[in-house]
């Protein structure tokens, strides 16, 4: 998948600049959704954690946080910035691709995915959401953000040393419809403008942050499929 590999090498190149530029852009209001109306999530995945700005705050909301990213350089900054918590059963870092997440089925209680989804076309997003669905436990939740608008393609960002990154803009209804088809229903929504929210570095871009829960209906259907797949594998190996 060329778009994904391209994103990784560009993020390796601009990781230091990104870490400084986006240091203040934590989505604190949305992070509170992880606690709202639920028992504290135990294992949280920071999907596309970048330089790890959010890992420490997520750790306060769960027992263990896994930061996953495709960029080696981003992970090495995340490791430096959180060295006191890594290796102490509090934060773990994993290099991986969100379209092939190297984690077990039903092993995660909540996924935090801050400003990563705009990098995916609808086709790749579908694969990523299937992976999110696979690794989440039954009552799991996903908190994510998308850019609102029309169009997609590669964009160079001046503030980020002209990093060339793929961006996909969404109509909110279309995004929610796709999420629902993939087994996620929206429970919280926050619409925001980046410049108004982060005046020091923000651009004039509209974002939507969403909290999504797994829909039981979909889960029921797919659990049945998983069960029958597992059964046929076991039956095959027994001969
Ligand atoms: C805009 S940054 C967001 C970083 C962090 N979540 C934040 O809020 O600052 C996007 C991150 O997603 C990572 N990324 C892009 N595509 C990925 C993929 N397919 N799998 C894993 N990480 C990916 C990039 O390496 C980058 O660190």
Q: What is the pTM of this model?
A: 0.91
CB-CB contact of 156 with 162 (8 Å)? yes
Give mean pLDDT, residues 66-70. 97
CATH number (domain holding residue 63): 3.40.50.150
* Residue whose CA is at the smallest distance from ligand 1 atom 14: 48
Strand partners, 164: 156
Range in 44-48, 60-64, 113-117, 183-187 with the lowest mean pLDDT: 60-64
The residue segments making up the domain with residue 161 are: 4-236
Q: Is the beta carbon of 49 within 6 A of some atom in ligand 1?
A: yes
CB-CB contact of 179 with 31 (8 Å)? no
Quick: pLDDT tens for 111-158. Answer: 999 999 999 999 999 999 999 999 999 989 999 999 999 999 999 999
d(CA 77, CA 91): 14
129: left (phi over 0), alpha (psi -120 to 50) or beta: alpha
Helix (DSSP H) and strand (DSSP E) numbers for the chain: 8, 9
Between the ranges 51-55, 154-158, 232-236, where is the mean pLDDT highest? 51-55
Q: Is the beta carbon of 69 within 6 A of some atom in ligand 1?
A: yes
Q: How many domains are there within the chain? A: 1
Q: Is the beta carbon of 97 within 6 A of some atom in ligand 1?
A: yes
Q: What is the pLDDT of residue 190?
A: 98
Q: What is the mean pLDDT of the chain?
A: 88
Q: What is the pLDDT of residue 33?
A: 94
């Amino acid at each position: 998948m060329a778009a994904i590999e391209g994103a990784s090498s560009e993020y390796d190149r601009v990781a230091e600049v990104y870490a400084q530029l986006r240091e203040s852009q934590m989505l604190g209001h949305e992070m509170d959704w992880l606690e709202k109306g639920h028992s504290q999530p135990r294992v949280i995945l920071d999907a596309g954690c970048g330089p790890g700005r959010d890992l420490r705050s997520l750790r306060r909301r769960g027992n263990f946080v896994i930061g996953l990213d495709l960029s080696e350089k981003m992970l090495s900054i995340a490791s430096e910035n959180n060295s006191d918590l890594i290796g102490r059963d509090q934060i773990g870092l994993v290099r991986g691709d969100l379209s092939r997440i190297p984690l077990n089925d039903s092993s995660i209680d909540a996924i935090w995915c801050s400003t990563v989804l705009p990098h995916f076309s609808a086709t790749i997003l579908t694969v990523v959401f299937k992976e999110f669905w696979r690794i989440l436990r039954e009552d799991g939740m996903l908190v994510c953000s998308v850019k609102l608008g029309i169009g997609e393609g590669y964009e160079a960002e001046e503030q980020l040393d002209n990093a060339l990154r793929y961006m996909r803009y969404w109509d909110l209804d279309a995004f929610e419809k796709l999420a629902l088809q993939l087994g996620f229903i929206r429970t919280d929504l926050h619409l925001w403008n980046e410049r108004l929210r982060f005046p020091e570095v923000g651009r004039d871009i509209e974002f939507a942050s969403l909290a999504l829960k797994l829909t039981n209906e979909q889960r029921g259907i797919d659990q049945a499929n998983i069960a029958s797949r597992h059964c046929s594998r076991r039956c095959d190996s027994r001969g």
